Amino acid sequence: MADSSSGGENLLFLTDEQLRKGIEAMFFAYRGFTADPDRILAQHDYGRAHHRALHFINRSQGTTVSNLLSVLGVTKQSLNRVLRTLIADGLVEARVGRRDRRERHLYLTEAGRTLEAELSEAQRARMRAAYRAAGPQAVAGFRQVLEAMMEEDMRRHYLALKETRR
C-alpha cells in the first residue's frame, strides 16, 4: 500500500537505502537542531550536558537529582560535574528535601530561566519553521516515529512529561 505523499514509497517495507537516508537525515537534522544552542552555550563555556540539565530542571522545577539522573541517563559523576558548575554560576539552586533531607531538589534561578529560555527559543524557532514547512500530518507522523524509536524507560519519562503539560 503506497502513500502518494511520499513519492509512492511503501511505508510498510523500506529498503536499506531508504533507511540509510532516514538515518543520515536524523544526523544532519540533529546538527541543525543543536547548532544555535551550541553557539549560545559556547559563550558560557557550557556544553550540551548543561543544556539538557537546564531543560529538564526547567520542565520539572523541584525535580530531585535522582530523577534527573534517570531522565538524562548519565552517570552520577557526570551529572554532579554539570550541576556543580551550574550551581556555582548561579543558574541552578539545590534545596534540601522537606520530607527526606537526603534529597536535593533542583530549581532554576532567574538567570537559569533566562538562559534556558534563550536556548529553548532557538530550538523552538527551528522546529516551528520545520513544522510549518512540513504540515500537520507530517508533524504528527514525525512525533509517532520519534516515540516509536524511544527505549521503553525513556518513553515512560517522555509520556510523564507530556502529562505535566496538560
CATH of the domain at 46: 1.10.10.10
Q: Is residue 3 part of a domain?
A: no
Q: Is residue 98 part of a domain?
A: yes
Q: Is residue 163 part of a domain?
A: yes
| Domain shared by 79 and 140, yes or no | no
| Domain shared by 105 and 34, yes or no | yes
Whole domain around residue 157: which residue ranges? 135-166
Give the model's pLDDT for residue 1: 37
| Domain shared by 52 and 84, yes or no | yes
Domain count of the chain? 2
Cβ burial, residue 100 (10 Å; 0-12/13-18/19+): exposed
Rg of the chain (C-alpha set): 19
| Domain shared by 47 and 116, yes or no | yes
Residue 90 amino acid letter: G
Q: Is residue 143 part of a domain?
A: yes
* Three cell numbers, residue 45: 563555556
Write down the residue that cell numbers 527505549 correspond to.
Answer: 151
| Domain shared by 77 and 152, yes or no | no
pLDDT tens, residue order, the chain (166 aa): 344 445 545 556 788 999 999 999 999 999 999 999 999 999 999 999 999 999 999 999 999 999 999 999 899 999 999 999 999 999 999 998 778 778 899 999 999 999 999 999 999 999 999 999 999 999 999 999 999 999 888 888 888 877 766 5
Give the model's pLDDT for residue 3: 44
Closest of 56, 80, 85 to residue 68, by C-alpha: 56
| Domain shared by 46 and 79, yes or no | yes
| Domain shared by 54 and 93, yes or no | yes
**Which DSSP string corresponds to 67-112?**
HHHHHHT--HHHHHHHHHHHHHTTSEEEEE-SS-TT-EEEEE-HHH
Query: CA separation (Å) from 146 to 45, 48, 150?
Result: 30, 20, 7
